Amino acid sequence: MLSLKPISPSAFYGAFLDVTSSHARALSEARTHDPEFTRVMLSDIFPEIASRLGLRCFPSDYYKFDAIFYVEADTKHFPTGTYAKYVSVALEHENRPVGSVREMNKLQLLNAPLKVLITYPGNREYARMLLGQYAEIIADADPFEDIDTLRRQLVIFGFKEDVPRWDAYAYAGQSFSPVEPERLQKAPQTA
């Protein structure tokens, strides 16, 4: 039997903020060059977030998803390659917000405890419009009405400024609500 490790939107967001702040310089340097920015996110940021959350990361086109986090690979049936027993977190990173609605639709195809979309709307008005579109897409894909409780959705909007800034929203049944980051507890120091 698999041991499920669900990650809450606030725990993911907290780890995301911690990791992106430690890589602020690389993100700042790459902010005007989309391919480099994506490379930093997939190669540096996502694996470190997964590690902080106690998960493994496959940061490269897993069945057309930009990245996944998982607990355990199925090595019994698939001795070569990476085949997750189940996906804990599915991630889509889209530099161009106009394409983000397709990415949100794609995330609905996967049954995972947390699905994360990261994009860069440029301003808050456009961000609000995108959240409305995402909510409609999710509601249409939720015949069992359990996405807001069992298959959580997190949207992280980035603003590519000198020091990148981030806002997060979780789907809460027909709409999105702001997410406060949950900071991971550090182990106490022993003398």
Q: Where are the domains of the chain?
A: 9-178
Burial of 150 (0-12, 13-18, 19+ CB in 10 A): exposed
**Within a 10 A sphere around the Cβ of 148, how many other Cβ atoms?**
19
User: Are 91 and 107 a contacting pair, CB within 8 Å?
Assistant: no
User: Are 85 and 74 a contacting pair, CB within 8 Å?
Assistant: yes
Tokens of 153: 């959705």
Per-residue model confidence as pLDDT tens for the chain (191 residues): 456 678 999 999 999 999 999 998 888 888 777 788 888 999 899 999 999 999 988 777 666 788 989 887 666 787 776 777 788 999 999 999 999 999 999 999 988 899 999 999 989 999 999 999 999 999 999 887 778 777 899 999 998 776 778 999 999 988 999 999 987 655 444 44
Tokens of 95: 């530099």
Say how far apart CA 53 and CA 49 lie, in whole Å.
6
